Structure 1
Amino acid sequence: MLYRKVPKTGDELSILGYGCMRFPQKNGRIDYEYTKELLVHAMESGINYLDTAWGYHNGQSEEVVGKILEETGSRDRVRIATKLPHWLASSREDMDGYLDKQLKRLRTGHIDYYLIHDLTKGGWEKIKTMGFADFLDKAKKDGRITYAGFSFHDDIETFKEIVDGYDWDFCQIQYNLIDTTNQAGTEGLEYAASKNLAVMIMEPLRGGNLARIQPAEVGKIWEEAKTRRTPAEWALRWLWNRPEVTVVLSGMTETDQLDENLRIAEEGLPGSLTEEELELAKRAGEKYREIMKVGCTGCSYCMPCPFGVNIPACFEIYNSYHMFDDKRHEKFMYMSRLGGLLNKKSAASLCRNCGRCVKACPQHIDIPNELKKVKNDMEGPVMKIIVPVSRIYVPLRKKLDLLRKR
């Protein structure tokens, strides 16, 4: 296993991290024994960064990670990363409360890498009013967390504002062959690195889609390479070629996936791809974007929408839905990010066809018309049922938790 140092601290992290959002399941719950087998194999192979969060697997992920580390005596061998669900918090006290619960779930006295989860512009403004900086400063001082960071899903200007808004140790961004200009993108990767932040990469394979059967047009490009590689190898090696990348997170649900990624990680050195290979990767990324349903570059010139539609995110998820096979994953991402499940609703159905976005779009996209297609494909009866029910259930769960404490 290869390791890279966190710029501000010198802490050495495995270049391959274990994403704990997609553990194998059995009968609707995490398959504990198989997950334990995978994590033990990963740790014995040198992986020392485990990334989980409050809501992964409906709260099971943190508990399973903590139990496995305790049973195997492996806590000191790894760095645990988990995340504050800021959308569930309404006060400074709530933030402390969630952190304390996470420590119990993970059966540990401290969390090595603690993130504010899924920050957007709205989330950023909210946590500032709740005193997030004081919360993180004191949690670091009292030893409950070691390093502070954030994960991100918004535009580049918001990303830079957040990077500059606190003395972060690291950040986590979505970045892959396709998402070079979406969200933080390459510009954000380089900006964070210029500020000495470690950068953890999520969705390196776009939910596993870049590792599956490729669109024919992309396959033809890879066939030109002198060295044959699997789709997953191209995607991961392309990321590790960047010296700014610290850890690439992968949610490995099978032993074969883990073994393949471990093999690829053995050669994941910065600057290890040739100029010809980088050109092929660039062309492959361009081809992916070319065959997308909507030619949105994520520039956000159309934002803000006066009616609250997150236009770039709508098109990003809609494109993934049509390019890849995992339709359920993309529908869940749409509900979570845009449908009101985790954040304020910003879905395509909020569009009122005012036309302001059309005038602003440098790609000359008929945005209102495309948003109608997004609504038709991504929103339906299931979303209309799940989102309202969930939004009732979560506050009720919080009240029940408070009653139990009393």
Structure 2
Amino acid sequence: MMYRKMPKNGDELSILGFGCMRLPVKENGSIDEERATKQVRYAIDHGVNYVDTAYPYHNEQSEPFLGRALADGYREKVKLATKLPGWMAKSRKDMDQFLDVQLEKLNTDHIDYYLVHALVGDLWDKLVTMGVADFLDNAKADGRIVNAGFSFHGAGEDFKRIVDAYDWDFCLIQYNYLDEKNQAGTEGMEYAASKGLGIVVMEPLRGGNLTNPVPVSVKAIWDTAPTKRTPAEWALRWVWNHPEVTVVLSGMNKEDHIDENLKVADEAFPHSLTEAELELVRNVERKYRELMKVGCTGCRYCMPCPEGVNIPLCFEIYNDKYLSGNADGARFMYAARLGSVLSVGEPEFASKCVQCGDCLDKCPQHIEIPTMLESVVEELEGPDLEQRVAMAKVAFKRT
């Protein structure tokens, strides 16, 4: 495992962090605690020392899970990060109450890296008027948090002014080779680094869209590289190639993915990609731009939908149709995965959308969700949808 220093405090942090937003789950949707605990502890045993969660992850169960997973001495081996759900706060007092609840859930007396969660310009302005700076100052002074930061999903111009608005220790940004000019982007990352902030990166694989599935036309580009690497390794190495980046979070939920990421994190030096390799990544980026229809990362901030639409899954399968080139396969999986064949509960089809707009302000990617759901309906539903659901029930032995 390689380590990089957090600029303001000198902490030696593993360049690979464990993100706890996409833990393995059981059929009923609850965290598969036995498996997830083994995964988290395995990663820590192999050098990971930065673990990230947040109040809403896994229906508010990620934090209490992690509190249990970090028992038996594992809490002392890591720097723990979680986040203030600022959109839920109605007053300055609420902020303290959220933090105190999080400390209890996580079974700890302090948070090493505490972030104001999912900032956009308007939310930051609201929190400023409620006294968020005073909250952070006092929480640091009384020892409940050690380092203060923020995660960001807004426009570039808002990012810079938020960086300048408080004496932050670090920030968390979405960054990958498709997002160089999106949200904070490269310009914002370099600006924050110039101000002494540590940079933690989320969505290095863009919610898995850069690795699963890999379109044939994209694979053909990767296959031209003299040095053979998986798409995940290329994506991770591209982020770690930037010396400004301290930690890259990976939402690891499969054992082979953890092993692969650990291997790459033992080799990924900054400035280690050649110009020819960087040009190869640029060619892949251009090809993805031609193929992708929706810039959804699967973060689920838009959920729950009041009408029961599974928005991220609708967009995942919609993108898969174009990334895989298999329209029939995508239509079948749409029926199976959204038609209550592979899950419990009611169907979650895009056609249940009533254009209420509840999701629009919540989307970090600023996707016109109701409009895009109309495209999903047009291309993935149709008059044979019920027939495809019935076929899926037979295929998956569901009655």
User: Structure 2 length normalisation: TM-score?
Assistant: 0.77
Q: Which runs of 5+ in 2 are unaligned?
A: 296-310, 325-332, 339-348, 379-399
- Matches of 1:344 and 1:174 in 2, distance apart? 16
Counterpart contact for 1:200–1:248, Cα < 8 Å: yes
| Aligned partners of 1:292 and 1:319 also within 8 Å | no
Match of 1:348 in 2: 368
Partner SS state of residue 210, structure 1? coil
Look up the SS of the partner of 1:211 in the other structure: coil
Change in CA separation of 1:266 and 1:147 when aligned onto 2, cut-off 3 Å: same
Change (3 A) 1:285 1:114: same
Task: Summarize the Cα distance change of 1:53–1:341 in structure 2 as closer, same or farther, 3 Å threshold.
Answer: farther
Conserved 8 A contact 1:87-1:343: no
Contact 1:87 1:342 in 2 (8 A): no
Determine the C-alpha separation between the residues in 2 that align with 1:378 and 1:165: 40
- Whether the 8 Å CA contact 2:170–2:197 is kept in 1: the answer is yes
Aligned to 1:200: 200
Match of 1:258 in 2: 258
Distance apart, 1:377 and its partner CA = 3.5
After TM superposition, the structure 1 = structure 2 runs for residues 133-148 of structure 1, keeping only pairs within 5 Å, are 133-148=133-148
- SS of the residue aligned with 1:238? helix
Cα 1:196–1:227 change in 2 (3 A) is same
**1:232 corresponding residue in structure 2:** 232
2:327 maps to none
Aligned residue for 2:375? 377
**Structure 2 match to 1:217:** 217
Counterpart secondary structure, 2:68: helix
Whether 1:158 aligns to 2:158 is yes
Instruction: Give the 3 Å change call, closer, same or farther, for CA 253–65 of structure 1 in structure 2.
Output: same
SS of the residue corresponding to residue 70 of structure 2 reads helix
Displacement of 1:211 in angstroms is: 2.0
Cross-structure match for 1:399? none
Post-superposition offset of 1:340: 3.0
Partner AA of 2:105 in structure 1: R
- Deviation, 1:324, is 5.3
Give the length in aligned residue pairs: 332
C-alpha distance 56-290 of structure 1, shift in aligned 2 (>3 A): same
Q: Does the C-alpha gap of structure 1 residues 320 and 153 become closer, same or farther in structure 2, counting only changes over 3 Å?
A: farther
State the one-letter code of the partner of 2:32.
D
Give 1:8-23 correspondences, 5 Å limit.
8-23=8-23
Identity in percent: 57
> Is 2:123 the counterpart of 1:102?
no
The answer (yes or no) to whether the contact 2:291–2:323 under 8 Å persists in 1 is: no
State the alpha-carbon separation in 2 of the partners of residues 39 and 230 from structure 1: 23
Q: In structure 1, how many angstroms separate the alpha carbons of the residues matched to 2:149 and 2:17?
A: 16
Q: Write the deviation string for residues 165-210 of structure 1: whole angstroms up to 9, x where unpaired.
A: 1111100111111111111111111111111111111111111221
Partner of 2:49: 48
Q: Partner amino acid for 2:96?
A: D
What SS does the aligned partner of 1:29 have?
coil
Give, in whole Å, the separation in 2 of the partners of 1:118 and 1:342.
14
CA–CA distance in structure 1, aligned partners of residues 362 and 215 of structure 2: 34
Contact 2:79 2:113 in 1 (8 A): yes
Distance 2:163 2:272 in 1: 29
1:342 Cα offset (Å):
9.4
Contact residue 63 and residue 106 of structure 2 kept, 8 A: yes
Structure 2 matches for 1:108-119, cutoff 5 A?
108-119=108-119
Alignment-derived partner of residue 277 in structure 1 = 277
Counterpart position of 2:386? none
Q: 1:245 to 1:378 in 2, by over 3 A?
A: farther
Q: Which residue of 2 aligns with 1:64?
A: 65
Partner in structure 2 of residue 4 of structure 1: 4
The Cα of 1:215 is off from its aligned counterpart by 1.8
- Kindly report which structure 2 residues correspond to 1:284-295, keeping only aligned pairs within 5 A, or say none: 284-293=284-293
Distance 2:6 2:267 in 1: 20
Alignment map for 1:317-332 (pairs within 5 Å): 321-322=318-319
Look up the equivalent residue of 1:40 and give its one-letter code: R
1-structure distance, mates of 2:240, 2:143: 32
Structure 2 counterpart of 1:212, which letter?
N
Cα 1:339–1:318 shift into 2, 3 Å: farther
Q: CA RMSD in A?
A: 2.8
Structure 1: how far apart are the matches of 2:229 and 2:125? 44
Amino acid paired to 1:38 = Q
Q: C-alpha displacement at 1:286, in angstroms?
A: 1.9
Which secondary structure does the structure 2 equivalent of 1:279 belong to? helix
CA distance in structure 2 between the partners assigned to 1:67 and 1:379 by the alignment: 42
Structure 1 residue 91: deviation in Å?
0.3
TM-score normalised by length of structure 1: 0.76
| CA distance in 1: counterparts of 2:285 and 2:135, whole angstroms | 40
Gapped runs of 5+ residues in structure 1? 296-313, 350-370, 381-406
Partner of 2:30: 29
Q: Equivalents in 1 of 2:31, 2:289: separation in Å?
A: 35
Q: Find the residue that maps to 1:139 and give its secondary structure.
A: helix
User: What's the CA shift string for 1:118-153, capped at 9, x where partnerless?
Assistant: 001111111111110000000000000000001111
Letter in 2 for 1:261: N
The answer (yes or no) to whether the contact 2:242–2:271 under 8 Å persists in 1 is yes
Inter-partner Cα distance in structure 1 for 2:176 and 2:204: 5
- The alpha-carbon distance between structure 1 residues 38 and 220, as it changes in their structure 2 partners (threshold 3 A), is same
Question: How far, CA to CA, are the matches of 2:181 and 2:75 in structure 1?
Answer: 37
One-letter amino acid matched to 1:118: A
Q: Contact 2:293 / 2:318 at 8 angstroms: preserved in 1?
A: no
